[in-house]
Structure 1
């Protein structure tokens, strides 16, 4: 026999009460997180990834961490390249809150794999690897929450411009940074966070008369050494218009232009591998490139001309 038609499992008032209680519980026992949608720039349809993705917005909401005994996953592993952290966590968020905060402004129906959660409590970024949208399974014929399975995010030079200093500065500190000195006039220094561009080839200089080659990067740090000189650190460096040019160059004629400050300055020096001391590079104080090279010179003889040894 079919079920009794006089009893309903989908009473709207009961569903609303249940959903409100869930939201209240998340606000009491949850943590503040930022939901950061990923913007696809150049998706690879074969591999299903976008190495040039960007993150341009962040939405504050509450989330409950199911892992009460700590993060799951493989934990901290010490390998030949150092310590690798493989933390994982499950976050529970409200559908109603997500739709009102994120879904209202983003063109997506639910959280997506590949988007990020920033947890200020641990100052960590988690990447969503799976979205469970039917647990608890239709209690009161309703689905009030999303369960997000996440793993610790591995930064790969993606562009972050969310407008939240806590997020953008955290990523900027972890990004590869190119350090350079510049010469300015009358204190017209660059600003932190702006995009600076150097035109390596104008349209008039190109063979076809149309191709413009530019290299650009985001300013992560500005040091004003004087009224006419300064030093900046750049991340998210990219080139448009060419596959041959890869980086900025020192030139008195090819100047550096700031998009927000509208200042035009001249690059006087770009720091590289040989500009650090015996233990590190200027871009990465934790590197030991020079120390490894010196140590390798002690047991590798680069003066040997015969790879098969001395015939005598």
Structure 2
């Protein structure tokens, strides 16, 4: 008899206990898991303790930095993930039998929403799983927090990663560009290296913005440091500075496409500097068929818009 059958026969575990335990393992601490779940820390801790009592096994080691899984905890995670996945599949089958619209809150950075909003709103109502999408704009870092907290079902993120609670599928990869005045000494270059721009004063988004983290890591890896003279969170401020020819910045290709034409700026790809756009879904928030349809729509929109742009590479279907 499989071990999970024997365990279940001797215990009265609840799906809630398993879900909370998986959340704790993913978040790295009980406090972070409680924040994601939107419930009290004491409630999460109590359910995990009850699960340990039911199984008669210590699942977590609690220490100052957070938690770590015991060998028994690692086994329970694998089993819990399988059980919760089976329940999600069952719920999906039940929910998608009817013709009612599935209401979805989807996050999207302002840099890509002009490209994708029409494809999303016009296509998904007629999908195999009809969806009504409410779009929420924000930075990838902020959207990731909302996704972890359960406020969003899914989001288009920059460099999003899969976890026990979030599944991420690649959409496309795009280069980062130096954007600056038309009379720049770098005008005419087909590309540039980090060393070429390490002395150029830059206006960048502040950490922990995802693109800024990529830029910082690339400079550090090259033994360099960007000359950041100003940080901005609002695209309006940066656009105004670029319009007055008083700033250089580093932006992804999907942003550069619009600003370069609008403001008459130079845009030079930086060698080896890229970001990935991914579609991240909170596990269980959308039926599998719906996820596949959304990913297909987003990739098709990018492929059509940037078919001749070598600095954007759309991911292929698996």
- TM-based fold match above 0.5: no
Structure with bigger gyration radius: 1
Q: Going by fraction, where is helix more abundant, 1 or 2?
A: 2
Q: Going by fraction, where is strand more abundant, 1 or 2?
A: 1
Query: So what's the TM-score if we normalise by structure 1?
Result: 0.24
Query: So what's the TM-score if we normalise by structure 2?
Result: 0.24
**Relative contact order, higher structure (CA 8 A, sep 6+):** 2
